């Protein structure tokens, strides 16, 4: 069965520092991978997605993620975080191949706090 693991429940980084949020997935084939961000009391915003092709994907707000098949990982990175990046980040996986209305499976999330 598909699953997503985010090993870090809570991470605190200083403003201006670099960030890497870890995500590991379990899926038999190449999955579709996503990172979503959720600010307190807000909905889920798609940061970036990987379907195929270049394994380094660029997203919004200066985020990027790298798909590493050998490590079953899809870590999210940002070179310099801003105080407004404080939020909950969810890694998610969807099955590859066309299937109408296929659900997304979310990881448990990583809460990012920014130290002034």
Residues forming the site for another protein (CB under 8 A): 32, 34, 36, 41-46, 49, 51, 90, 94, 98-109
Q: For residues 59 and 94, which CB has a smaller minimum distance to another protein in the complex?
A: 94
Could you give the CA distance from residue 7 to residue 23 in angstroms, rounded to a whole number?
A: 7
Whose Cβ is closer to another protein: residue 45's or residue 71's?
A: 45
Label residue 85 exposed, middle or buried (CB < 10 Å: 0-12, 13-18, 19+).
Answer: buried
Give whichever of 17 and 46 is closer to another protein, judged by the CB atom.
Answer: 46
Q: Of 10, 24, 17, which is closest to residue 70 (Cα–Cα)?
A: 24
> In whole angstroms, how close is the CB of 45 to another protein at the nearest point?
7
């Amino acid at each position: 069965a598909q699953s997503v693991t985010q090993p870090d429940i809570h991470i605190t980084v200083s403003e201006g520092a670099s960030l890497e949020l870890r995500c590991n997935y379990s899926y038999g084939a190449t999955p579709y991978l996503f990172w979503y961000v959720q600010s307190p009391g807000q909905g889920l915003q798609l940061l970036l997605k990987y379907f195929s092709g270049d394994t380094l994907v660029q997203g919004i707000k200066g985020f990027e993620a790298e798909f590493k098949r050998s490590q079953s990982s899809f870590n999210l990175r940002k070179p310099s975080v801003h105080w407004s990046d404080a939020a909950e980040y969810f890694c998610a996986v969807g099955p590859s191949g066309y299937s109408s209305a296929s659900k997304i499976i979310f990881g448990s999330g990583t809460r990012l706090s920014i130290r002034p």
